[in-house]
Amino acid sequence: MLLTTGLLIVGAVLSWIIFLGFLHEGHDSSVEILPWITSGTLKASWALRLDALTAVMLVVVNTVSALVHVYSLGYMSHDEHQPRFFAYLSLFTFAMLMLVTSDNLIQMFFGWKVWASCPTC
């Protein structure tokens, strides 16, 4: 729980750095992670898109999620189901980040389905 909260705080700080850097430079980019679906002329890669809207939403999602994680450390400190709660909370954060950074509709659909199937959402 401390590891996920710490890494999410690092992610929130990095998203603020991306956002502030975007205010100065402001160029869109896409980073291809790996080829995902290839069928005839359809080519959908697993990629992360970074534009102005993504930079804003990265700040919102990561900052709010980091604050919820920090608050939950104290609030759930005596609960026996704390590991499961943090696993679901991390899954929710992952799904939101997939929605925000998706480069194509197939990848966005994947993020949407993970988000919709999350038990705590």
Question: Domain tally for the chain?
Answer: 1
Q: Which residues pair with 50 in a beta bridge?
A: 29
Q: Tell me the mean pLDDT in the region 75-95.
A: 88
Q: How far apart are CA 50 and CA 80, in angstroms?
A: 39
Q: pLDDT, tens digit, for every residue of 13-24?
A: 999 998 998 888
Q: Tell me the mean pLDDT in the region 96-102.
A: 90
Look at residue 116 and tell me whether its pLDDT is greater than 90. no
C-beta of residue 95 within 8 angstroms of C-beta of residue 118: yes
Contacts by 85-89 with C-beta closer than 8 Å and gap 24+? 85/120, 86/1, 86/4, 88/118, 88/119, 88/120, 89/65, 89/120
- The burial of 107, by beta-carbon neighbours within 10 Å (0-12 exposed, 13-18 middle, 19 or more buried), is given as buried
pLDDT for residue 110? 81
Structure token pair of residue 113: 């389905």
Host domain of residue 58: 2-117
C-beta of residue 36 within 8 angstroms of C-beta of residue 46: yes
